[in-house]
């Protein structure tokens, strides 16, 4: 059940982290005023809406493919006669077993969430905050929580890889998760009309600030 709501855990931890770090970054490094800083925060937070759309569309697609390719058996034996149930839910309601191509939603979601967390916490490399600031305590707490969550996602990904789904279903789930990450953070977010990257104007090769300062 923890994995089934993986996007909710990721969403609610990234929401305050992106909001606080983006506002601080915009105000201190780009010298934006309050209004422009808030607009920058809203733009970056729209990445969470994109992530929600990716999660919703992909999981819906996985269910559609499983229903489209599946058949229902009223016993655990695949050789038993199969009744023409239209969906997996109908099959389970009648104590049947649905046999379809079940793309691993867990592999997709866990890989996508972990990569998204890694991308978003990269903002700390360009953020400078006073050591004694209360804001720093808040950001550190969110950062540690996100790192812990990413570790959980990696551990559960390994469990899924060992115990659940066929090999092809797991590989396809991972490829879709990687494609969602690459299509957003490595392609679309580089464009002007997008949520943008966590460090929009500082290339990875020329960062001048350090969070440790």
What positions carry a catalytic annotation? Answer: 106, 165
Report the DSSP beta bridge partners of residue 71. Answer: 99
Q: In degrees to the nearest 10, what's the CA dihedral of 118, 121, 123, 125?
A: -90
Report the DSSP beta bridge partners of residue 73. Answer: 82, 97
**CA angle 176–122–41, rounded 5-degree value:** 90
158 CB-side CA count, 13 A:
5
Dihedral sign (CA 103, 107, 112, 115): negative
Q: Which contacts (CB < 8 Å, 24+ apart) does range 38-45 have?
A: 43/195, 43/196, 44/18, 44/19, 44/195, 44/196, 44/198, 45/15, 45/18, 45/19, 45/195
């Amino acid at each position: 059940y923890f994995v089934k709501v993986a996007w909710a855990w990721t969403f609610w931890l990234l929401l305050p982290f992106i909001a606080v770090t983006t506002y601080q970054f915009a105000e201190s490094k780009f010298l934006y005023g309050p209004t422009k800083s808030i607009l920058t925060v809203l733009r970056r937070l729209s990445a969470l809406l994109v992530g929600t759309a990716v999660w919703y569309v992909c999981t819906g697609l996985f269910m559609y493919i499983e229903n489209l390719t599946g058949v229902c058996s009223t016993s655990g034996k695949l050789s038993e006669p199969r009744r023409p149930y239209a969906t997996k839910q109908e099959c389970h309601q009648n104590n049947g077993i649905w046999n379809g191509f079940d793309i691993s939603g867990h592999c997709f979601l866990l890989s996508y969430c972990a990569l998204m967390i890694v991308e978003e916490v990269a903002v700390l490399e360009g953020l400078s905050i006073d050591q004694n600031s209360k804001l720093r305590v808040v950001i550190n707490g969110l950062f540690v929580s996100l790192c812990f969550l990413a570790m959980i996602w990696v551990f559960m990904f390994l469990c899924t890889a060992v115990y659940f789904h066929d090999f092809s279903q797991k590989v396809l789930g991972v490829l879709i998760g990687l494609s969602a990450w690459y299509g957003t953070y490595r392609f679309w977010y580089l464009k002007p009309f997008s949520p943008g990257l966590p460090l929009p104007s500082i290339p990875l090769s020329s960062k001048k600030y350090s969070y440790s300062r």
